[in-house]
Chain A
Amino acid sequence: MISRGTRRRLFLERRTYRRNRLQDAARLVPVFGALLFFGPVIILTSQSTAGAETSVWAVYFFTVWAGLIVLSAVLSRALSRIADGENEEKTQPASKSGPSAGGR
C-alpha cells in the first residue's frame, strides 16, 4: 500500500518532468523557426538571382509565421498552466508572480 505522501511526490515529480520538457520545447521553437525562415532562402536564392516568385514566398513565410505563433501560444499556455498549478500546490504563491517582487 503506497502512502498518500509518496504518491503525491511521484505525481509532482512527473509534472516537474513534463514542465522541463515543455521548457525544452519552448526553447527549441525559435531554433525551429530560424531554420524555416533562413534555410529555404539561403538554399534557393543562392542558386539564381531571380529566385522564386514573390507571391509563393509570401504565402510560405506567412504560413510558417502563423504556425510558429500557434505553436508558441500552445506551449506558453501549457507552461503557464503548469506554473499556476504549482503555485496553488504550494502554501505560499511563488515570489516570481507578485507585482511587488522588486522590493522587500
Chain B
Amino acid sequence: MLSFDGLVAVCVFYVAGLFAVAFLAEKRAAEGKARWLSSPITYTLSLSIYTTAWTFYGAVGSAARSGLEYLTIYLGPTLIFIGWFWILRKMVRIGRAQRVTSIADMISSRYGKSGPLAALVTVLMVIGATPYIALQLQSVALSFAVFAEPGPRASLNSDVIAVWVAGGLALFTIVFGTRSLDMNERHPGLVSAIAVEAIVKLLALLAVGIFVVWGLGDGAGDILARIEASPMSGWSSNGARWVGLTMLSGAAILCLPRMFQVLVVENSDERHLATASWAFPLYMLLISLFVLPIAVVGLELMPEGSNPDLFVLTLPLTLGQDGLALLALLGGFSAATSMVIVAALALSTMVSNHIIMPIWLSATRHENPMSGDMRQVALFARRLSILGIMALGLIYFRLSGGSEALAAMGLIAFLGVAQVLPALLGGIFWRGATKAGAATGIAVGFAIWAWVLLLPNAHVSGWLQEALNEGFLGLAWLRPASPLGIDGTDPLLTAMVLSLGLNVVFFILVSLLTFPSPLERLQGAQFVNVYDHTEMPLGWKGSTGTADDLLIMARRVLGAGPAARLFQTAARAQGRETGLPEPKPDFIEHLERELAGSVGAATAHAMVGQITGGANVSVKDLLAVADETAQIMEYSNKLEAKSAELVQTAARLREANQKLTELSVQKDAFLSQISHELRTPMTSIRAFSEILMQDGAVDEEALARFSRIIHDESRRLTRLLDDLLDLSVLEDGRVTLNETNALLSEVLDRSIDATSALQDSARLTIHRNPETEQVALVTDVDRLSQVFINLISNAQKYCEAEPPELSITVLHLPGRVEVEFADNGAGIPVGQRAVIFEKFARLETGRAAQGAGLGLAISREIMLRLGGGLAYVPGQTGTAFRVRLPSMALRGAS
C-alpha cells in the first residue's frame, strides 16, 4: 500500500513535471521552435479539458445510478464537433478576426462592444463556474482521502488538501497564464501542460478499463453479459431527458468559458479545427468506452454502499493494484487540475477585462489618463482575479461541506452557462440581434435558472429558504418546485425549457423591437458575414486624438517595446520614415484591435475612445463595411459608369449620323445646284444654235445677236467650270501658291482695273485712302487680287443704293492688317449671313443673279490657304467684308 506521504510526493513530482513541460514549451515557443505545439493533435488534446474530474470519476457513478445517461454529456459535444462547419468554424474565424479574448468579450464585441453586457456575462460565468471548480477540488480531496483512509493520517482534513491544491493551481495559472499580456492571448506553456494531462487521464481511464474488461472480466462479451445481469440492465431513461441533456451538453461546450479559451483563444490555426472535428469525438469515445464496464464490475465487486463515484480509484485499490490506482489518481488529478487551471485563466481574463479594468479606468478617469503602467495594472488584475476565483471555489467547497450534492452541480452549471447561447448564436447568425435583446434574454434566463435551479440546490437558509419554499413574495406560482404552476417531474428539464425558452423569446422579441446603435450594426455585419470580409473593418471616423496620447496609452497596455514597434510599422506604412503615425481611422482601428488582444474589445474601445473622443461610426463607414451594401454600391457604380459610357457613345453615334445625313443632303443640294447651273447656259446655247441651224430664218442682225448670246453663255459655262475646279482644288489643299513681293495698293489697283471692264462698273464709286495702303506683302498676288475682285464685283452687282458706293479701308491693327470692303447698300439679312460663304449661296435679292454663287466660297478658301481670313462684318449700314491679310505676308510692313 502506498503511503500517503509517498502519494503526496508523487503528486508533487507530477506537478513539477508539468511545470517543467510548461517552461520548456514556453521557451521553445519563444524561440519559434515548438512546431508540435501548434499541431492539431495538441489542439485536440487541449480540448480535453471538457472531460473534468466530474466526468473522470462521476461518469462511472452516473452510469451506476442511471445507466447510459452519462453518454449524453459526450454525445452533445460530438454532434457539435462533427458539425463544426455550422458553428465552431464561424466562432473560431470570428474569434481570430476580432481578436476575442473570452466568451464575454465575444458577446460584448458583437453587441457594440458593450461594457455592461460583458460584465453581465462575466458574472454569469463566474457564478456558473464556481460550483464546478469546487467540484474539482472536492474530487481531488476525496481521491486523496481514499488513499489516506487506512494510513496514519486518516484524520487529515480534506479541506487542507483542497487548500493546498487550490493554492498550487493558482500558482501554476499565475505563472503560465499571466506571465505576460500576450497580444494573441495564447499560452503555449499552459496548453502543452494540458495536453500532457489529457494523455495522462486518457491512459489512466483506458488502463483501468482494460484491467476491468480483460483482467477482471473475460473480454467484451463477458462484460455485456454482466451488464445484462446487473441492476442497470434495464434502461429507464425517457426520450425527453435524453434529448434535453444531449442538447444541454452541446450548448455547454459552446458557452463554457474554459472551452472557449482552448477552442477559440488558444487556436493557432483554423485548420486544426478540421482535425479536432473528428479527433475530439474520438477522444471522448475512448474516455467513455470503459465507463459502463467499470460501473458494472464495481457494482459487483465493491461492498454495498460504497461510493460509485470513486470506483475508478477504489476498484484497483481494493484489488491490490496499487500502481494502477496511482495512475487512476493521477488521471483524476490531471482532469481536475487542467480544468481548474483553464477555467481560472478564462474567468480571470473576463473578470479583469470586463469588471476590474473598467472600474479602474473610471476611477482614474479624472487623473491623467496617460499616466501609470496599464500593463502592470492589467496583470495585477488578472492575478488577483485568479486568486479570487480559486478562493470562491474553495469557499463554495467548504460551505457545501463537500457533500455529494456537488455532483448534481455539474449539469446545473451547464444550464447556467448555456444562457448565453441564444445571444451567441443569434449574434453570429442573425444581424437583427441587438444589445438590448441579448441583455434581456440573458438576464431573464439567468434569473429563472438561478431561482428555479441554482438556489434550491445551494443549501441556503433564512428568509431566502423561506421564499424558496413558499414562493417569492408568497406567490405560489413563483415556487421553484413548481414554477408557473408547472409541476414537472424533472426539475432540470423544467428549468431548462423555462429558462432557455423564455431567454430565446425575450432575446428575439426585444431584438425585433429595439434599434441597434451604429457600432452594433457594424459589428453585427462583421460577425455574421465574417467569411466575406475577414479583413479589417472600417470603424472609426476621423479622430481628434493625437498620436502621442495613443502611444503613451499603448505603452501602458502593450509595453514600451511592442508599442514602439507597432507605431513605427504604422508610421512606415503611412510613408513616414521618422516620427509618429497620423491617427488615421485605419491605424486607430488596428491599434484598438491590438489592445483588444490584451484587455478585451470593450475596454480597448473605451480606452481609445477616451483619447480619440468618440466612438461614432459614420454612415459612410457603415456602408463601406456592410459588405453586401458595398458590393451593391460597387456594382451600381459600375453600371452607372457603363450606362454613362453608353450614353456618350450613343450621343457620338447620333452626332455622326446627323453629320452624315447633313453631308448627304448637302451633296444632293450641290448636285442639283450644279446640274441647274450647267443646264441654264446649255439650254440657251442649244436653243439659239437650233435657230441658227434653220436656213434663211435668221437675218444678219439676229445672227450677230444670237452668236453673241451663245458666246456669252459658253463663257459663263467655262467660268462656272473653272470656279468649280478652282474650289475643288482649294478645298483639297492641292493648290500651289506662287508667292511674290507686292504692295497692297498695287494689288488693289489691279483688282479695281479688272472689275472696271465689267458691265456695272461705271455706276460704282470707290473710295480709297492711298496713304494707308502702302503695305508690303509677300504672297500669291494673283489669288489675293482674285479675292478683291470678287468682293468689288459683288458690290457692283448687288449694291442697291443710288448711287452705289464702295469704300475700301485698310485697318492697321496690332499684329495684323485688315482690308474692309463696305458698300452703302442694304446689307445682308441676319438670317442669311450664315450661308453666304456656302457654295451656290445666292441671296434672294431683287437683282438678277449672274454668278453661280461660288465667289465668296472660293474667296474664303483662298484666304484660308493664304493664311489669312475673310469674314462678314455685322453692324454696318451696308454690306461689309473684312479681309484679314496673312500675318506671314506682312514682310517689311510699317
A residues with a Cβ closer than 8 A to B are: 23, 26-27, 29-31, 33-34, 37-38, 41-43, 45-46, 49-55, 57-59, 61-62, 65-66, 68-73, 76-77, 79-80, 83, 95-97, 99, 101-104
A-B contact pairs, 25 of them (CB 8 A): A26-B84, A30-B82, A37-B75, A38-B239, A41-B237, A45-B235, A45-B237, A45-B238, A52-B235, A53-B235, A57-B235, A58-B227, A62-B285, A65-B75, A65-B285, A68-B82, A68-B281, A69-B278, A69-B282, A77-B274, A101-B270, A101-B534, A102-B597, A103-B597, A104-B535
Q: CA separation between A43 and B194, bound complex, in Å? A: 41
Chain B residue nearest to A95 (CB atoms) is B534
Taking CB atoms, residues of chain A closer than 8 Å to B184 are 102
Q: How long is the Cα–Cα vector from A61 to B67 in the complex, in angstroms?
A: 13
How far is it, in angstroms, between the C-alpha of A50 and the C-alpha of B79 when the chains are bound?
27
Tell me the smallest distance from the CB of A49 to a CB of chain B, in Å: 6
Across-interface contacts of B237 in A (CB, < 8 A): 41, 45, 51
Verify if B269 is at the interface (C-beta below 8 Å from A). Answer: yes
Cβ A97 vs Cβ B281 within 8 A: no
A102 touches which one: B78, B79, B85, B99 (CB < 8 A)? Answer: B99
The answer to whether B82 and A29 touch across the interface, beta carbons within 8 angstroms, is: yes
Q: Which 6 A-B pairs have the closest CB atoms?
A: A30-B83, A42-B239, A73-B278, A72-B82, A72-B278, A76-B274
Interface 0/1 of B64-92, CB less than 8 Å to A:
00011001000100111111111000000
Q: Please, how many angstroms separate the alpha-carbon atoms of A32 and B246 in the complex?
A: 15
Contact: A54 with B68, CB < 8 Å?
yes
| Cα–Cα, bound, A46→B227 (Å) | 22
Tell me if A's interface is mostly helix, strand, loop or mixed.
helix
Q: Does B790 contact A (CB under 8 A)?
A: no
Partner of A42, one of B71, B78, B81, B243: B243
Decide if B594 is an interface residue (CB 8 Å cutoff).
yes
B238, A68: Cβ atoms closer than 8 Å: no
B285: chain A residues at CB < 8 Å are 62, 65-66, 69
Cα distance, A101 to B534, chains bound together (Å): 9
- Complex contacts, A96 vs chain B, CB 8 Å: 93, 270, 534
Residue B716 at the chain A interface, CB threshold 8 Å = no
* Nearest residue, chain A, Cβ from B183: A103
Least CB distance from A75 to B in Å reads 8
B301 at the interface (CB under 8 A from A): no
A58: min CB distance to chain B, Å: 6
How near does chain A come to B46, taking the closest CB pair, in angstroms?
16
CB proximity of B39 to chain A, nearest CB, Å: 12
**Distance between A90 CB and nearest chain B CB, rounded to angstroms:** 15
Q: List residues of B (266-288) whose CB comes within 8 Å of A's CBs.
A: 268-271, 274-275, 277-279, 281-282, 285
Q: Which residues of A contact B534 (CB under 8 A)?
A: 95-96, 101
> B502-521: which have CB < 8 Å to A?
none
CB <8 Å contact, A68 and B97: no
Chain B contact residues: over half helix, strand or loop, or mixed?
helix
Judged by a CB distance under 8 angstroms, whether B96 is at the interface is yes
B407 in the interface (beta carbon within 8 A): no
Interface residue? B234 (CB, 8 A)? yes
Query: Is B239 a contact of A101 with CB atoms below 8 Å?
Result: no
Contact A33 B97 (CB under 8 A): no
Q: Please, how many angstroms separate the alpha-carbon atoms of A96 and B270 in the complex?
A: 7
Question: Which residues of A lie under 8 Å from residue B84 when comparing CB positions?
Answer: 26, 76
Cβ-neighbour of A45 out of B183, B242, B246 (below 8 A): B242
Instruction: Please give, as numbers and ranges, the residues of chain A lying within 8 Å of B278 by CB-CB distance.
Output: 69-70, 72-73, 76
Q: Is the CB of A72 within 8 A of B38?
A: no
- List, in ascending order, chain A residues with CB within 8 A of B593's CB: 102-103
Interchain nearest-CB distance for A31 vs B (Å): 8
Given contacts A65-B281, A79-B274, contact A38 B78 (CB under 8 A): no
Q: B408 within 8 Å of A by Cβ?
A: no
Given contacts A38-B239, A55-B227, A79-B274, list 12 more A-B pairs with CB under 8 A.
A30-B80, A30-B86, A33-B78, A37-B79, A46-B238, A46-B239, A57-B68, A57-B235, A68-B78, A72-B82, A83-B271, A96-B270
Count the A-B residue pairs with Cβ separation under 8 angstroms: how many?
144
A27 CA / B87 CA spacing, docked (Å): 10
Task: Kindly provide the distance from the CB of B393 to the nearest chain A CB, expressed in whole angstroms.
Answer: 32
Q: Is the CB of A49 within 8 A of B269?
A: no
- Contact flag A41-B594 (CB < 8 Å), given A76-B275, A83-B271, A102-B97: no
> A78 to nearest B CB, angstroms?
10
The answer to whether B246 touches A99, judged by C-beta atoms less than 8 angstroms apart, is no
Q: Is B292 an interface residue when CB atoms closer than 8 A count as contact? A: yes
CA distance A51 to B83 in the complex (A): 29
Contact of B536 among A27, A29, A80, A104 (CB under 8 A): A104
Tell me if B736 counts as interface (CB < 8 A to partner A). Answer: no
A29, A51, A58, A103 — which one has the most chain B CB atoms within 10 A of its CB?
Answer: A58
Residues of A within 8 A of B292 (CB): 54, 58
Give the distance in Å from the alpha carbon of A34 to the alpha carbon of B250 in the complex.
11
Contact B96 A101 (CB under 8 A): yes
- A59-B223 Cα distance, complex, nearest whole Å: 12
A58 to B593, CA, bound (A): 49
Contact at B85–A26, with CB atoms within 8 Å? yes
Question: Which residue of B93, B96, B236, B270 contacts A49 across the interface (Cβ within 8 Å)?
Answer: B236
A45 in contact with B239 (CB, 8 Å): yes
Contact B82 A80 (CB under 8 A): no
A104 to B274, CA, bound (A): 25
Q: A45 to B242: give the CA distance in the assembly, Å.
A: 10
Q: Could you say which of B80, B83, B228 contacts A27, with CB atoms under 8 Å apart?
A: B83
Known: A69-B285, A72-B278. A54 touches B67 (CB 8 A): yes
Q: Which residues of chain B have C-beta atoms less than 8 A from A45's C-beta?
A: 235, 237-239, 242
- B776 part of interface (Cβ distance < 8 Å): no
Say yes or no for B232: interface residue by CB 8 A criterion: yes
Contact B79 A33 (CB under 8 A): yes
Determine if B68 and A61 form an interchain contact, defined as CB atoms under 8 angstroms apart: yes
Contact of B228 with A53 in the complex, beta carbons under 8 Å: yes
- Contact residues in A for B631 (Cβ distance below 8 Å): none
In whole Å, how far is A30's beta carbon from the nearest beta carbon of chain B?
Answer: 3
| Distance in Å: Cβ of B434 to nearest Cβ of chain A | 26
Chain B residue nearest to A51 (CB atoms) is: B235
Query: Does B547 interact with chain A (Cβ within 8 Å)?
Result: no
Do B68 and A72 have beta carbons less than 8 Å apart?
A: no
| Docked complex Cα distance between A95 and B534 (Å) | 9
Chain B neighbourhood of A66, CB < 8 A: 285
Q: Given the complex, which residues of A lie within 8 Å of B38, measured CB to CB?
A: 99
Q: Which residues of A contact B228 (CB under 8 A)?
A: 53-55
- Closest CB in chain A relative to B219 CB, distance in Å: 14
- Shortest CB-to-CB span from B503 to chain A, Å, is 22
The yes or no answer to B590 lying at the interface (CB within 8 A) is yes
Q: Name the CB-closest residue of B to A49.
A: B236
B647 CB–A CB distance under 8 Å: no
Closest CB-CB distance, B242 to chain A, in whole Å? 5
Q: Is the CB of A72 within 8 A of B277?
A: yes
CA A83 – CA B99 in complex, angstroms? 24
Shortest CB distance A93–B (Å): 12
From residue B95, how far is it (CB to closest CB) to chain A in Å?
Answer: 9
Is the Cβ of B269 less than 8 Å from the Cβ of A99? Answer: yes
Counting CB contacts under 8 A, is B289 at the interface? yes
Residue of A nearest to B75 (CB): A37
Q: Contact: B271 with A80, CB < 8 Å?
A: yes
CB distance from B427 to the nearest CB of A (A): 19
